[in-house]
């Protein structure tokens, strides 16, 4: 099933993101964790693509395994910055053969060895180039990334939004946001996006922070603004893993409830392969999920 059919429904849903292992040694434990997450029957599960293309084999392996279980729809990611056209074609053929019709099309972070000149000569310098090829290759439902707080390489938000519009014009069917910890940033981003005439569904991406050390990683990855309300909670509970996990889950749940209350129906949760976190957030929303409050 195409994800646009799911996310255009009026019921409140959650979807979950998982990531593949980097090595064979972790494959079994990741497989098990992702199966537990799929058993919660989210709207879909996205499976990330190893940075710089590393571990793409494991993306396919985890995605195929979940697809076979048939518990939910699967959204495998694909990055293109250092991909060759025939690799992309092969990946899409593999997805098709496994019965997957959705793909998240990303540029990926620039590898250190890549100079601007190399990038200019690459087949896919930007995600929009990949999206065009996927659209031409067949009937995939295509997701793309967006950044309520502006992509770190962009000059300014206007530039970033124009490039985002290009991705939608190239064929992206929906967008998923980078994590954010202040919903007002999402609301003002959505306002600007809609004003530019971009009307595809936008899935807010919520990252439950469940340990103090996850914070610096989240900051480096996304440059997200951390509201005082949030940092106070980390200052107070960060020294206890159990307390921080509980507080982080409650903070994420609170963000999701506010999003639902303000017109969003579908939220994507970065689970970090933790079934207990996905389960707790789902349980906190048990009287809301799957229902249609007009
Ligand atoms: P692009 O859309 O190409 O944008 C990158 C930068 O280039 C932006 O600053 C944009 O404004 C600019 N730009 C775009 N088009 C042009 C143009 N024509 N001319 C000049 N500038 C332009 N990374 C992974 O490695 N694996 C994953 O699985 C993964 N999943 C992700 C999922 C989500 C929801 C998000 C938000 C990010 C994910 N990332 C992943 C990270 C992502 O790969 C990086 O943020 C990357 O730096 C940008 O990818 P993009 O697809 O947004 O790129």
How far is it, in rounded angstroms, from Cα 234 to Cα 181? 13
Report yes or no on 272 lying in a domain: yes
Residue 102 falls inside a structural domain: yes
Task: Judge whether 180 and 186 are in contact, CB under 8 Å.
Answer: yes
Name the residue of 19, 58, 106 whose CB sits within 8 Å of the most ligand 1 atoms, as the mutation to test its pocket. 106
Nearest protein CA to atom 22 of ligand 1, as residue: 163
- Residue 237, classed as helix, strand or coil, is helix
pLDDT of res. 113: 83
Does the CB atom of residue 51 touch ligand 1 within 6 A?
yes
Query: Domain for residue 229, yes or no?
Result: yes
Nearest to 100 by CA among 64, 48, 71, 69: 64
Task: Tally the domains of the chain.
Answer: 1
CA of 147 to the centre of ligand 1 (A): 9
| Confidence at residue 51, expressed as pLDDT on a 0 to 100 scale | 63
The predicted structure's pLDDT at residue 215: 81
Q: What is the pLDDT of residues 105-126, one digit of tens each?
A: 999 988 888 887 888 888 999 9
Query: What DSSP state is assigned to residue 55?
Result: T
Tell me how far the alpha carbon of residue 98 is from its chain's centroid. 21
**Residue 51, CA distances (Å) to 18, 56, 132 in order:** 14, 9, 21
Q: With a 6 A CB cut-off, is 33 part of the ligand 1 pocket?
A: no
Whether 132 is in the pocket of ligand 1, judged by its Cβ within 6 Å, is no
- What confidence score (pLDDT) does residue 54 get? 56
H-run or E-run covering 13: strand 13-18
User: CA 18, CA 63: separation in Å to the nearest integer?
Assistant: 10
Residue 91's DSSP bridge partners are: none
- Supply the CATH number for residue 193's domain: 3.20.20.220
pLDDT digits (tens, 9 = 90+) for 239-260: 999 999 999 999 999 999 999 9
- 170 lies in some domain: yes
| Atom nearest to 151 CA in ligand 1 | 9
Q: Kindly report the backbone phi and psi dihedral angles of residue 76, in degrees, each rounded to the nearest multiple of 5, phi listed first.
A: -75, 145
| Predicted local distance difference test score (pLDDT) of residue 285 | 98
| Residue 230 belongs to domain spanning | 3-289
Q: Which atom of ligand 1 approaches the CA of 178 most closely?
A: 36
For the chain, 294 residues long, give each residue's pLDDT as a single digit of tens.
Answer: 999 999 989 999 999 999 999 989 999 999 999 999 999 999 999 999 986 555 688 999 999 999 999 999 999 999 999 899 999 999 999 999 999 999 999 999 888 888 878 888 889 999 999 999 999 998 999 999 999 999 999 999 999 999 999 999 999 999 999 999 999 999 999 999 999 999 999 999 999 999 988 887 777 777 889 999 999 999 999 999 999 999 999 999 999 999 999 999 999 999 999 999 999 999 999 999 999 987
Q: Please report the atom of ligand 1 found closest to the CA of residue 222.
A: 45
pTM of this structure: 0.97
35: annotated active-site residue: no
* Whether residue 64 has its Cβ less than 6 Å from ligand 1: no
Calpha distance 173→198 (Å, rounded): 11
Q: Is 160 in the pocket of ligand 1 (CB under 6 A)?
A: yes
On whether residue 294 sits in a domain, the answer given is: no
């Amino acid at each position: 099933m195409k994800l646009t059919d799911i996310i255009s429904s009026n019921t409140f849903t959650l979807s979950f993101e998982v990531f593949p292992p980097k090595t064979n040694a972790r494959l079994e434990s990741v497989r098990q964790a992702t199966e537990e997450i799929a058993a919660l029957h989210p709207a879909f599960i996205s499976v990330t693509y190893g940075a710089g293309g590393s571990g793409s084999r494991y993306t396919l392996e985890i995605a195929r395994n979940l697809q076979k279980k048939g518990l939910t729809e699967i959204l495998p990611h694909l990055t293109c910055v250092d991909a060759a056209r025939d690799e992309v074609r092969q990946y899409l053929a593999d997805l098709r053969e496994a019965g997957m019709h959705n793909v998240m099309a990303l540029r990926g972070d620039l590898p250190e060895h890549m100079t601007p000149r190399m990038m200019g000569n690459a087949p896919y310098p930007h995600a929009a180039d990949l999206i065009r090829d996927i659209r031409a290759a067949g009937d995939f439902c295509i997701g793309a990334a967006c950044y309520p707080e502006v992509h770190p390489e962009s000059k300014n938000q206007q530039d970033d939004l124009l490039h985002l519009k290009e991705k939608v014009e190239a064929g992206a069917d929906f967008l998923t946001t980078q994590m954010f910890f202040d919903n007002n940033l999402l609301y003002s981003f959505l306002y600007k996006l809609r004003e530019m005439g971009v009307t595809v569904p936008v899935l807010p991406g919520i990252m439950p922070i469940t340990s103090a050390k996850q914070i610096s990683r989240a900051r480096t990855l996304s440059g997200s603004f951390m509201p005082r309300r949030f940092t106070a909670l980390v200052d107070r509970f960060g020294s206890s893993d159990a307390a921080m996990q509980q507080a982080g889950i409650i903070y994420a749940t609170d963000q999701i409830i506010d999003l639902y209350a303000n017109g969003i129906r579908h939220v994507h949760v970065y689970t970090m392969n933790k079934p207990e976190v996905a389960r707790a957030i789902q349980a906190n929303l048990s009287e809301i999920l799957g229902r249609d409050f007009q």
